[in-house]
Chains A and B, each alone.
Chain A
Amino acid sequence: MGGFPTLLYKELLRFWKVSFQTVAAPVLTALLYLVVFAYALGDRVRPFEQTSYAQFLVPGLVMMSVLQNAFANSSSSLIQSKISGNLVFMLLPPISYVEFFGAYVLASMVRGLAVGGGVLVATVWFVDLRLAAPGWVFLFALLGSAVLGALGLVAGIWADKFDQIAAFQNFVILPLTFLSGVFYSIHSLPAAWQAASHLNPFFYMIDGFRYGFFGASDFPPLASLAVVAVSFALLGAGALALLRSGYKLRQ
Chain B
Amino acid sequence: MIAGASAMTYAIEARNVEKRYGALQALAGVSLEVAEGEFFGLLGPNGAGKTTLINVIAGIARASAGSVRVMGADVVADYRRARRMLGVVPQELVFDPFFSVRETLRFQSGYFGLRRNDAWIDEVMHALDLMAKADANMRTLSGGMKRRVLVAQALVHRPPVIVLDEPTAGVDVGLRQGLWRFIRRLNRDGHTIVLTTHYLEEAEELCDRIAMLKAGRIVALDSTRCLLETFSGLVLRLRLEGGALPEGLEADIVSSEDGRFVLRLRDYSALEQVLHRVREAGAAIRELELEPPDLEEVFLRVMEKH
Contact of A88 among B21, B79, B94 (CB under 8 A): B94
Instruction: Determine the chain A residues whose CB is within 8 A of the CB of B88 once the complex forms.
Output: 92
Please tell me if the beta carbons of A85 and B112 are within 8 angstroms of each other in the complex: no
Report the nearest A residue to B81, measured CB to CB.
Answer: A94
Q: Tell me if B25 counts as interface (CB < 8 A to partner A).
A: no
Q: Tell me if A246 counts as interface (CB < 8 A to partner B).
A: yes
Contact of A250 among B62, B103, B110, B111 (CB under 8 A): B62
Contact of B98 among A14, A85, A91 (CB under 8 A): A14
Contact of A85 among B58, B92, B110 (CB under 8 A): B92
Instruction: Determine the chain A residues whose CB is within 8 A of the CB of B81 once the complex forms.
Output: 94
Contacts of A72-121 to chain B: CB distance below 8 A: 81, 84-86, 88-96
Please tell me if the beta carbons of B113 and A3 are within 8 angstroms of each other in the complex: yes
Contact of A3 among B21, B61, B112 (CB under 8 A): B112
Q: Tell me if B192 counts as interface (CB < 8 A to partner A).
A: no
Report the nearest B residue to A10, measured CB to CB.
Answer: B107
Report the nearest A residue to B56, measured CB to CB.
Answer: A251
Q: Tell me if B59 counts as interface (CB < 8 A to partner A).
A: yes
* Shortest beta-carbon distance from A4 to chain B in Å: 9
Contact of A92 among B80, B83, B96 (CB under 8 A): B83
Please tell me if the beta carbons of B96 and A94 are within 8 angstroms of each other in the complex: no
CA distance A18 to B58 in the complex (A): 32
Instruction: Determine the chain B residues whose CB is within 8 A of the CB of A84 once the complex forms.
Output: 94-97
Contacts of B69-110 to chain A: CB distance below 8 A: 79-81, 83-84, 86, 88, 90, 92, 94-99, 103, 106-110
Please tell me if the beta carbons of A93 and B111 are within 8 angstroms of each other in the complex: yes
Which of A1, A5, A18, A92 is packed against the most chain B CB atoms within 10 Å? A92
CA distance A85 to B94 in the complex (A): 6
Interface residues on B, range: 20 to 34
CA distance A89 to B83 in the complex (A): 12
Please tell me if the beta carbons of B110 and A3 are within 8 angstroms of each other in the complex: yes
Instruction: Determine the chain B residues whose CB is within 8 A of the CB of A251 once the complex forms.
Output: 21, 55, 60-62
Please tell me if the beta carbons of B59 and A86 are within 8 angstroms of each other in the complex: no
Please tell me if the beta carbons of A88 and B90 are within 8 angstroms of each other in the complex: yes
Instruction: Determine the chain A residues whose CB is within 8 A of the CB of B113 once the complex forms.
Output: 1-3, 94
CA distance A9 to B111 in the complex (A): 11
Number of chain A residues whose Cβ lies closer than 8 Å to a Cβ of chain B? 28
* Shortest beta-carbon distance from A82 to chain B in Å: 11
Contact with B along A52-85 (1 / 0, CB 8 A): 0000000000000000000000000000010011
* Shortest beta-carbon distance from A243 to chain B in Å: 14
Instruction: Determine the chain A residues whose CB is within 8 A of the CB of B95 once the complex forms.
Output: 84, 86
* Shortest beta-carbon distance from B116 to chain A in Å: 12
CA distance A18 to B81 in the complex (A): 35
Please tell me if the beta carbons of A90 and B62 are within 8 angstroms of each other in the complex: no
Which of A2, A91, A96 is packed against the most chain B CB atoms within 10 Å? A91
Q: Tell me if A6 counts as interface (CB < 8 A to partner B).
A: yes
CA distance A96 to B113 in the complex (A): 12
Instruction: Determine the chain A residues whose CB is within 8 A of the CB of B168 once the complex forms.
Output: none
CA distance A230 to B226 in the complex (A): 65
Report the nearest B residue to A81, measured CB to CB.
Answer: B96
Please tell me if the beta carbons of B96 and A93 are within 8 angstroms of each other in the complex: no
* Shortest beta-carbon distance from A16 to chain B in Å: 10
Contacts of A1-48 to chain B: CB distance below 8 A: 1-3, 5-7, 9-10, 13-14, 17-18
Instruction: Determine the chain B residues whose CB is within 8 A of the CB of A13 once the complex forms.
Output: 98-99, 103
Q: A6-B115, A17-B98 are in contact. Are A89 and B60 (CB under 8 A)?
A: no
CA distance A172 to B152 in the complex (A): 42
* Shortest beta-carbon distance from B40 to chain A in Å: 19
Contacts of B101-144 to chain A: CB distance below 8 A: 103, 106-113, 115
Q: Tell me if B67 counts as interface (CB < 8 A to partner A).
A: no
Q: What are 5 residue pairs bridging A and B, where the CB atoms are less than 8 Å apart in the complex? A: A3-B112, A9-B107, A10-B99, A18-B98, A94-B84
